[in-house]
Chains A and B, each alone.
Chain A
Amino acid sequence: MLDILAYAAFFLVTALTYGIICLGLNVQWGQTGLFNVGVAGFVAIGAYVSALLTTPETAGRFGGFGLPVWFGWIAAMVVSGAAAALIGAITLRLRADYLAITTFGIAIAIQLVALNAETLTGGPFGIGFIPRAFGGLEDRPIIFNLANLAMVGTVTALLYYALERLVRSPWGRVLRAIREDEAAALSLGKNANLFRIQAFALGSAIMGLAGAVQAHFIGFIAPENYISTLTFQVWAMLIIGGSGNNRGALLGAVLVWGLWSVTGAMLAAFVPGEYQARAAALQIVLIGVALAALLVLRPRGLLGEEKMISRFLKG
């Protein structure tokens, strides 16, 4: 019973970190229509930045400044957001297909840097001994997982609240106006590019935060965590949950991560060892099928985009 509770807490913490990434993607895609196919790259930046800043000094590797975890989180957001702002400013107009190609390439470049820049990132072996939040409780998994769940749950709730406020703000209204008719928005004095860059940077900062939260929960990161599969999973979560809806983003994250975990456990239990690597591909297929089925049955996702009205106009 206690084991199940411990696992449930562990599962939810992981699912919520994906949920945070989804919230970031929802700002970019759901609210602004920015097609970011490099989600994994921005998560990786956050994870590595926080890891470098907070780990103890390590021979043969840059970093290890031993700074507090909260500092790592903030730095992760700042660096991921700044990287996105820079990329956004360069690919200035951030038109659909070009942004997709650019972000895809950048995510791969980031992953390759993580893999090869050994003195910075530890190379293929990654970075270990990342200080875990509530690390003192590690030998009591239930308490440790529940404490982390409380913390990550709080962060998610705060983020959700902050983003919901934005969706209903004049800022969110400009994003909707630009999505509906850019020429009209320009004629009304809205600097469309600036708003797009802001949304892109904000979304990526949130992804960076999620990367850092994950890193400090698991205590270890490696380049293989940040391949395109991650991007695919997050997109599936957002589309299934309901793009344009922050609750949908969180719901999708929990459901898809649940599906992923259950199928992973089943493969481990029923597939003979020598076939497991290949069978793992079935997990991705399954998510793809679930996605396709949902798009047929509920094209707008489980929770579609809500009608947004400025929060000052109720009643």
Chain B
Amino acid sequence: MLEVRSVSKRFGGAEVVSNVSLGVGQGAIAGLIGPNGAGKTTLFNLIAGSFAPSSGDILLEGAAITREAAHRRLKRGLGRTFQIPKPFAEMTLIENMLAAAQGQRGESLFANWLTPRRVAAEERANAEKAMAHLEFLGLARLAREPARVLSGGQRKLLELGRVLMADPRIILLDEPGAGVNPALLDTIIDRVIEINRRGITFLIIEHNMDLVARLCGHVFVLAAGRMLFEGAPSEVVRNPQVIDAYLGTGST
């Protein structure tokens, strides 16, 4: 599904990601962990196209997307959320959702004047779909509130919902559990599993090992920009190198 081949990224003299390779199979939920500064979010940004790698290749369903602009990747089925959620704060939840729908006729300037009825029909269909997703995420009663009123966890859910509007085949989640209260965390985990059941692949950055263990079948561990280890969650927590990297004992 997603393949990262020997990708490196340098910012000036600092190599933030060095020679990282990973593969995520169709229908999997894979985890990406590592201490702060390990390069996880940078790797996400490379996969999502926020910037291009210094070297290496990124393939989505066999097609090289290494240098494709960020705004084209969702059309290919790759969606992402952000570590610090980026809702459109002054827009209502339903509008946040509608903005995410792909291939909208109404986004072309002249269609709004020349074919208003088709735009209206499309908009109604998208609104229905958006409400269904909001319902699924437990946000439906807030649909007409501006997104700025949401709590941190609700923002994570809204971002997930926005991505769902685009019918992605793989979703990159950046720390879905960070700053989320335990009750809402269960909702998020639950919804991710449910979405995955519909055949959508996930790659998840997360620090909360409990969450990783509950969700992920396979875990990649990054440390100082390199791939330190990969395996099942149970192997990861027992691996001395990983324990070292997280606890920073540094010896041996």
A: residues with CB less than 8 A from B are 162, 165-166, 169-171, 173-174, 176-177, 180-181, 183-192, 198, 202, 309-310, 312-313
**CB–CB B86/A165 < 8 A:** no
**CB–CB A184/B86 < 8 A:** yes
**CB–CB A166/B112 < 8 A:** yes
Interface flags for B72-83 (1: CB within 8 Å of A; 0: not) read: 111100011010
**CB–CB B91/A176 < 8 A:** yes
> Looking across the interface, which residue of chain A has its beta carbon closest to that of B159?
A184
Separation of A177 and B102 alpha carbons in the complex (Å): 14
Could you list 30 A-B pairs, sorted by A, with CB under 8 Å? Answer: A166-B109, A166-B112, A169-B119, A170-B99, A170-B105, A170-B119, A171-B107, A171-B108, A171-B112, A173-B91, A173-B98, A183-B50, A184-B82, A185-B88, A186-B69, A187-B74, A187-B79, A188-B74, A188-B99, A188-B162, A188-B163, A189-B71, A189-B74, A189-B100, A190-B107, A310-B95, A310-B123, A312-B123, A312-B127, A313-B94
**CB–CB B86/A190 < 8 A:** no
| B interface bracket (residues with beta carbon within 8 Å of A) | 35 or more
**CB–CB B90/A180 < 8 A:** yes
Residues of B within 8 A of A180 (CB): 88-91
Q: How far is the CB of B8 from chain A (nearest CB, A)?
A: 23
**CB–CB A170/B123 < 8 A:** yes
Contact of A309 among B75, B87, B95, B105 (CB under 8 A): B95
Contact of A183 among B73, B79, B82 (CB under 8 A): B82
Q: How far is the CB of A247 from chain B (nearest CB, A)?
A: 19
Residues of A within 8 A of B120 (CB): 312
Contact of A165 among B79, B100, B112 (CB under 8 A): B112
> Looking across the interface, which residue of chain B has its beta carbon closest to that of A190?
B71
The yes or no answer to B48 lying at the interface (CB within 8 A) is yes
Q: A188-B166, A309-B92, A312-B127 are in contact. Are A169 and B71 (CB under 8 A)?
A: no
**CB–CB A187/B75 < 8 A:** no
Residues of A within 8 A of B72 (CB): 189
Residues of B within 8 A of A165 (CB): 112-113, 116
Complex A-B, nearest 8 residue pairs according to Cβ-Cβ distance, in ascending order:
A170-B106, A184-B86, A189-B74, A180-B88, A312-B123, A169-B112, A181-B86, A186-B70
Q: How far is the CB of A243 from chain B (nearest CB, A)?
A: 15
B: residues with CB less than 8 A from A are 48, 50, 69-75, 79-80, 82, 86-92, 94-95, 98-100, 102, 104-109, 112-113, 116, 119-120, 123-124, 127, 162-163, 166
Q: A184-B86, A189-B72 are in contact. Are A170 and B104 (CB under 8 A)?
A: yes
**CB–CB B127/A313 < 8 A:** yes
Separation of A191 and B162 alpha carbons in the complex (Å): 16
Q: How far is the CB of B151 from chain A (nearest CB, A)?
A: 18
> Looking across the interface, which residue of chain A has its beta carbon closest to that of B120?
A312
Residues of A within 8 A of B92 (CB): 309
Q: How far is the CB of B53 from chain A (nearest CB, A)?
A: 17
Q: A170-B106, A180-B91, A310-B95 are in contact. List 20 more A-B contacts (CB 8 A).
A: A166-B112, A170-B107, A170-B119, A171-B107, A174-B99, A177-B99, A183-B50, A183-B82, A185-B71, A187-B48, A188-B162, A188-B166, A189-B71, A189-B72, A189-B74, A190-B107, A191-B71, A312-B120, A312-B127, A313-B123
Q: How far is the CB of A94 from chain B (nearest CB, A)?
A: 16
**CB–CB B70/A187 < 8 A:** yes
Separation of A183 and B83 alpha carbons in the complex (Å): 12
> Looking across the interface, which residue of chain B has its beta carbon closest to that of A182?
B86
> Looking across the interface, which residue of chain B has its beta carbon closest to that of A172?
B112
Separation of A187 and B76 alpha carbons in the complex (Å): 12
Q: How far is the CB of B179 from chain A (nearest CB, A)?
A: 18
Separation of A312 and B131 alpha carbons in the complex (Å): 14
Residues of A within 8 A of B162 (CB): 188
Contact of A173 among B74, B99, B109, B113 (CB under 8 A): B99
Residues of A within 8 A of B99 (CB): 170, 173-174, 177, 185, 188, 190
